[in-house]
Structure 1
């Protein structure tokens, strides 16, 4: 019987440890994998919306400018002026000076970019007007290359320069306002770029006969020249553009129409930098929740990158080594090094990019472009004119690092548990013979939840003492369980008063170092004006009661609106909306909270017959939130969004609500705001602000 008992106990213990460990491991792995995929999908969708919104905004601005009287008149008059210069011809010495300038300034840069020296004739302009205008606005421009656009009048007395002095300041301001890399007008008849803002070497060249006739800008102009539709937009994907030093450039064009006829094409030159900043989150991957190896990137239909890789920006030596080990060609690596960017040069042909470019969204574990397993979420972008895929990924090793630690811990704990079970079984097999059934029955009743059970004490030996101890233990545990349950309820309520419920749940689950990034929330700071003077005239008890009554009413309003109170410091009150659970209308809720706070302060001051006003500042944007402290927890926020909200409050007007541009842009159709203009903000300089009218 002793041998059977020992064998049975050991087998039962081993099976229990193995089943529990395996079940816990696989369930934890599945839950973690799902959480990672959900996070990657959310990040991808957010960045996709940002990129799509950027292109929709550019399209709307370009359509509006193409139909403006300024652009229509400028197109008509510049065409005539350029034709006059063409008919007048160009002196040979001027042509020679332009050619010498190209040989000295353009050919060396193209040699570095292409890796070979190109022929000078491949880049010289064609026609009289290009030589004449490039000489006066590029060769003889007194400004450096990046500031050529500051020249309004070349002073050569030509009709073109007279028109340029009129229209160029307006066009330059429009390009800067909208955010175009360059801003051009093309003549659909001759294909000439009869006007550009930045005055690169494509200025006045012919897109039909000149050196850039096979570029994407030539394609965009050719398409829009045939469409007499004010709503038409012609978008050409990013390619390397020689006039911009080989940088990745896309072109968006719109026809300029007068009396139903296309008289010109308005072209916006789009730099890859804006899109790269959106996709990479201004290269703040950790703040965006991508950890140490996660990132998002764009891929075009040619499977070439449309945004930079994280490894390229963070550690180029490892980046090129990974590309080499993953099978990238020497030509591809050399091109990335030569151009200084992986955009249009790094090939990313994976299962994720192939699926996304075919229009399919999905998630899964794939081999990434670095040749290592990654967890990825992929999908296409809805941008008319281009076929792009967006992939968000993180290395599998990083994603499953917690599972690897769990597996190691389970093995250690399981081994120890098996040793304990074997030792206990050996002892029990020798010691428990007589009253063991009674004790076993009592244990079973106790394990089933009968905490008032007891077993009879039939002997005075060790087994009898064990039975007596068991009965005492059951009674004691029952009493302690009651106490523990009461304390747990009290601790639960106390924890929920300190932390938001989702954060408290994570903390109870054993999570340490809780810190999350939120892409869009709204933060408010409120401060009592005149409270310091008031407290000097009131007893301390009255001051505390007055402030407690006011902040309690604030808390009730925050609870009604789904707003999270962060903390109070003296007479200051800080709250946030949009975390830890995101909400779509966080800005609207926070502004309504601010209005309530102002009204509550007025009522509270009247009820206590004191002079008291509230000043509130509101700002929207990304933040980092987390729990700090060990002995006294606090859930707090960090980031520029928080700092600017505080500055909005400190620089605000008593008895009012002051907001930043992000809040104003979201709510200008729902509330009435008065612009304050640009106010001085510590650490930020001049910042635009609006005051809510209510």
Structure 2
């Protein structure tokens, strides 16, 4: 016991305080001639006592099971006093009370008290490792179970867990490589305190090197001394790694961690389901060794892959002479095609797959050229058609992708021209003649609009709608509209002469703000809206104009009164127009200065 204390132990604390205990220790420990560690050889003290007789009967059988299962010790405990009345190992706890003595706080006492308190058949209690002084302070774990004689509770059976058996299982009889753990792998147990519950492989293989490694890792010197003293890492070696923490949190898996030696290892972990023990099992191998097969496989792939690439390269060089000439000819022909020489492939020699490919390529290029010309022609036709239907700027915007066009225009001029006599004459001729007649008249009006710089809006029934100043910001849009109205009178006279008709025109002009835009998608219409259009229409309705009249609104009169003569007109209040009466003027002719110049 002196080895377990820094000072001198007090012998009285380790002696039994009752005569029975003193008797047991005297006859079976003190008078036992066998050396320490072999006291179990004594079965009968030979004192002739009833205890010795009973012990002589049961000791051989108990020893047989003790040796068979490799237990460190086997105990019988009196449930009333807590005294250990039988022990195979006969250590200093033999004859001592676990209820009141020095060992009342030991893990063996906890296990015995649990069995006493349970008093139930089949109850088993296992307690975790702790340093046990009677076993020279070495780590010890115990299993206890109550003993019954029929239904009478007569004692407690205690077993000291065989540490060597646990280590034998975890180390595979120190043959880790045979168990598939290689030269660096090991399997071990850890408890809830993250300390080992089985011995470290590296302590078994190289105790001195193991202790030096711990010292280099700044492990406490007391811990290193205890490991060296007890010859085991159980309860001493801390395994505070992420894998250990995961296992103790009842998780399992595999991961790479730095182990207790500071070496990277591949660690597989899992909790153990042992009643009363919060343990986990881990199996680890140095990362270099664990990945050695993978690294070897990579090297093999690199080696054979390099050989294959080398073989392919050499084969390609050898075969290039067979394929390079047709390919080069094909490249030259492709360059000729890009420069426009579509028939360059026709002169190619050595017909074969490349020649067929080149011929097909030439046909494709020829087809693309034809399609491109067709598309360009259709685009030009579409542009010309849009220009005939719409102003150039509007047509350009539609071609650029605008779907909806609606533009406000400030201060533009709008003219409505009614063809007098057209409707009545059209009913007297055939439909085909009517269409030809109207088409000729509208074409003459369109030509006059182009000459005068006026935009045609539409021709509806017998009314020709036009405007000026919509695009480009023309400042003389009012004057242009008057000149266009005079030109339309001339065109009607020529038309009457050519067709023998008696048509005439009446025009109304007003200036102001308008909105222009396109309406519809499949059959698009270009139109103009606003109060200015309505006012021009009302002038035409309210003015009671005579044939050949050109009517203007007040703004147009004020702008052109120095250029043309105008007569003031009184609007017809019974015209049916929804607008109020509008001031209007009728064009009489050009001003004096213009007449003299003419």
What is the TM-score normalised by the length of structure 2?
0.51
1:113-512 aligned within 5 A? 117-258=8-149, 260-407=151-298, 433-435=324-326
- CA shift at 1:421, angstroms? 7.4
Q: What corresponds to 2:416 in structure 1?
A: none
Distance of 2:229 and 2:101 partners within structure 1: 26
- CA shift at 1:405, angstroms? 4.1
- Aligned 8 A contact 2:70 2:165 in 1: no
Distance of 1:289 and 1:302 partners within structure 2: 28
Distance change (3 Å), C-alpha of 1:117 and 1:400: farther
Higher helix fraction (1 or 2): 1
- Aligned 8 A contact 2:243 2:269 in 1: yes
Distance of 1:258 and 1:321 partners within structure 2: 55
- CA shift at 1:428, angstroms? 7.7
Q: What corresponds to 1:512 in structure 2?
A: none
Distance change (3 Å), C-alpha of 1:116 and 1:288: farther
- CA shift at 1:256, angstroms? 1.5
Distance of 2:43 and 2:314 partners within structure 1: 93
Q: What corresponds to 2:4 in structure 1?
A: 110
Distance of 2:30 and 2:274 partners within structure 1: 39
Distance of 2:115 and 2:293 partners within structure 1: 55
User: May I ask how many residue pairs the two structures share in their alignment?
Assistant: 334
Distance change (3 Å), C-alpha of 1:428 and 1:304: same
Distance of 1:433 and 1:310 partners within structure 2: 66
- CA shift at 1:410, angstroms? 5.6
Distance of 1:376 and 1:350 partners within structure 2: 10
Q: What corresponds to 1:688 in structure 2?
A: none
SS at match of 1:328: coil
- CA shift at 1:310, angstroms? 1.2
Q: What corresponds to 1:503 in structure 2?
A: none
- CA shift at 1:132, angstroms? 2.0
Greater RCO, CA 8 A, separation 6+: 1
Deviations 1:286-331 (A, max 9, x none): 1111111111100011111111111111122332333344453322
Distance change (3 Å), C-alpha of 1:164 and 1:408: closer
- CA shift at 1:426, angstroms? 8.0
Deviations 1:442-488 (A, max 9, x none): xxxxxxxxxxxxxxx969xxxxxxxxxxxxxxxxxxxxxxxxxxxxx
- CA shift at 1:355, angstroms? 1.4
Name the larger-Rg structure: 2
Q: What corresponds to 1:40 in structure 2?
A: none
Distance of 2:245 and 2:70 partners within structure 1: 32
What is the TM-score normalised by the length of structure 1?
0.44
Distance of 1:140 and 1:438 partners within structure 2: 113
Distance of 1:150 and 1:438 partners within structure 2: 104
- Aligned 8 A contact 1:322 1:371 in 2: no
- CA shift at 1:204, angstroms? 0.8
Deviations 1:257-280 (A, max 9, x none): 246443211111122111110111
- CA shift at 1:342, angstroms? 0.6
SS at match of 1:144: coil
Distance change (3 Å), C-alpha of 1:138 and 1:434: same
Distance change (3 Å), C-alpha of 1:426 and 1:177: closer
Distance change (3 Å), C-alpha of 1:458 and 1:118: farther
- Aligned 8 A contact 1:305 1:344 in 2: yes
- Aligned 8 A contact 1:126 1:209 in 2: no
Distance of 1:246 and 1:218 partners within structure 2: 15
Distance change (3 Å), C-alpha of 1:153 and 1:432: closer
SS at match of 1:331: helix
Q: What corresponds to 1:589 in structure 2?
A: none
SS at match of 2:108: helix
SS at match of 2:237: coil
SS at match of 1:146: coil
- CA shift at 1:424, angstroms? 7.9
Distance of 1:387 and 1:245 partners within structure 2: 25
Distance change (3 Å), C-alpha of 1:375 and 1:178: closer
Comparing 199-208 with 411-420, greater Cα deviation is found at: 411-420
Distance change (3 Å), C-alpha of 1:194 and 1:258: same
Distance change (3 Å), C-alpha of 1:122 and 1:350: farther
Deviations 1:77-112 (A, max 9, x none): xxxxxxxxxxxxxxxxxxxxxxxxxxxxx42x435x
Distance of 1:430 and 1:329 partners within structure 2: 76
Distance of 2:11 and 2:20 partners within structure 1: 19
Distance of 1:419 and 1:258 partners within structure 2: 86
Distance change (3 Å), C-alpha of 1:150 and 1:417: closer
SS at match of 1:369: coil
Distance of 1:328 and 1:400 partners within structure 2: 29
Query: What RMSD in Å do the two structures reach over aligned CA positions?
Result: 3.2
Unaligned runs of 5+ in 1: 1-105, 440-456, 460-694
1:71-86 aligned within 5 A? none
- Aligned 8 A contact 2:70 2:162 in 1: no
